Amino acid sequence: MQKKQESVGLIWFTNNLRVLDNKAIELASKSHDKLIAIYVFDVNIFNKNIFGFKKIEIFRANFLIETITELKNNLQKENITLLTYFDDSKGIIPSICEEYNISDIYIQKEWTSEELTIFKDVKNNLNNNIKVTSVYDQFLYHPEDINIEIKSISNVFSNFRKKVEKYSTIRAESIFTRRDKTNLINNNTVVPSLETLGYKALNKNNNSAFPFNGGEKEALNRINFYFSKSKKLSQYKQTRNGLIGEDYSSKFSPWLANGSLSSKTIYWRIKEYEAEFGANQSTYWLIFELIWRDYFKYISIKHSSSFFKIDGILEKKYEWKTDDRQIQNWIQGKTREPFVNANMIELKETGFMSNRGRQNVASYFSKELMLDWRIGAAYFESMLIDYDVHSNYGNWLYISGVGNDPRDRKFNIKSQAERYDPESKYQNLWLQKNIF
């Protein structure tokens, strides 16, 4: 009798860089005799964008390297081999599929243009017999559960929030069964270094409000500290507009951005915390912020390419400028506003900036200087450790008056500085000559 051929599935990791609560692993594990995983540091995402900034600067690149190193180790413990390459996805993935006789690929579903281009290029080069399964796995409220047609989602956040909170439920975390050691394959691939990716050595700034490493373990350690050890979650709403230090906010956003931590994991840990220590406005407010993240994802699906156009989702006309001198002054922290300058220097030196800072520098860029908001968004994309396409562009649209803010506000920078940095401690920290 002829031996039945092994069924081999490939998990293609992109922005779902975790083992815990990973739907792609769960689905693949249920369907195949053998599993292999792959992550590609795609050469195309290390180029410059249309405004001349590197798509990924050194801070996020380093965080990504740490994350993939951790993912590789964590998958190894589950007896799943992660192949890692610095290459062009459209060439290497079809090649791996042919080499290992892959029948199915599992990937997190994306919908924005750059991610779709990579996905389509790979799919066009695949053998027609290979099935690709893409799954939404980056939401708190899954698209199948919100009971709202995407095209009918309100352009006002509070309307969306009230509906999903009232009528929708949040799914349990995905689980899978560990494979045995026969699932492992020989693996000579390595995670590329910063130098391989084209960067120089990273000098970390001791004043950084985000001194953490990339990877799932660090993310879960942060949850454990912020919730159980320090119980700082209970003061989150009161401290979240802080500017200095590790603990004024949860700092979950970098791990959420590359998917080494899921919104559902945070949500269910909050519920455990509330059961043990009690619920209050702060515990709810962290969930509130997770819903904002969802909302921008849904808005980007609804409005598609308008999400990235200069007139935004409102198709509102402004006389935007592109003054190179003013743009560089903003980037280098040399504007007329010390509060803006301090935040921009922090970003340049650490790859991180507080939520309060982001709102102020974006408002100054788009409302005070009237500079093309897409340039500011592209610079943030390059620099931020926690860059997330939907939250980044959604917030820039919002602040710039072409997105989801019906009030079209302009921040009073001096008033904001007086309120949130009354003794100028933050400004002095980043505006002193020797910042290290």
For the chain, the domains span: 8-137, 216-306, 309-431
For 108, the 3-state DSSP assignment is strand
Question: Which two three-digit tokens encode residue 27?
Answer: 């689905």
Q: Is residue 212 within 8 Å of 218, Cβ to Cβ?
A: yes
Strands 81-87 and 104-108: unpaired
Share of the chain above pLDDT 90, in %: 96
**HSE value, Cβ hemisphere, 13 Å, CA-based, for 321:** 12
Backbone dihedral angles phi then psi of residue 367, each to the nearest 5 degrees: -100, -35
pLDDT over 90 (residue 350): yes
Share of the chain above pLDDT 70, in %: 98
How deeply is 2 buried, as exposed, middle or buried, from its count of CB atoms within 10 A (0-12, 13-18, 19+)?
exposed
CA 179 to chain centre: 29
pLDDT (tens digit per residue) in 372-421: 999 999 999 999 999 999 999 999 999 999 998 767 789 999 999 999 99
Considering only the top CATH level, what class is 309-431? Answer: mainly alpha
Residue type, 91: G
Cα–Cα distances in angstroms (integers) from residue 297 to residues 14, 73, 129, 359, in the given order: 16, 30, 32, 19
pLDDT over 80 (residue 77): yes
Query: Which residues face 108 on adjacent strands?
Result: 135
pLDDT (tens digit per residue) in 253-274: 999 999 999 999 999 999 999 9
pLDDT (tens digit per residue) in 14-66: 999 999 999 999 999 999 999 999 999 999 999 999 999 999 999 999 999 99
- pLDDT at 406 (0 to 100): 67
Indicate left, alpha or beta for 315 from its phi (over 0: left) and psi (-120 to 50: alpha).
left
User: CATH for 216-306?
Assistant: 1.25.40.80
Residue type, 365: F
H-only helix segments in 136-280: 157-167, 216-223, 236-239, 253-258, 263-277
Question: Which two three-digit tokens encode residue 195?
Answer: 């130098």
Please give the mean pLDDT across all residues of the chain.
96
* Helical packing angle, 413-420 and 355-363, nearest 10°: 160
Give me the residue label for tokens 């609560």: 21
- pTM for this one? 0.96
**pLDDT-based confidence at residue 189 (cuts at 50, 70, 90):** very high
Q: Which of 117, 125, 135, 111 is nearest to 25 (CA)?
A: 135
CA 272 to chain centre: 24
**pLDDT-based confidence at residue 75 (cuts at 50, 70, 90):** very high
Sign of the torsion formed by the C-alpha atoms of 107, 213, 396 and 373: negative
Q: How far apart are CA 230 and CA 235, in angstroms?
A: 10
Helix%, strand%, coil% for the chain, nearest 5: 50, 10, 40
- pLDDT at 4 (0 to 100): 62
Give me the residue label for tokens 């739907």: 23
- pLDDT at 436 (0 to 100): 37
Mean pLDDT on 329-339: 98
Q: Is residue 176 within 8 Å of 211, Cβ to Cβ?
A: no
User: What is the maximal distance between C-alpha atoms in the chain?
Assistant: 82
> For the chain, how big is the Rg over CA atoms in Å?
22
Q: Is residue 49 within 8 Å of 381, Cβ to Cβ?
A: yes
User: CATH for 8-137?
Assistant: 3.40.50.620
Sheet holding 8-13, edge to edge: 81-87, 34-42, 8-13, 104-108, 131-135
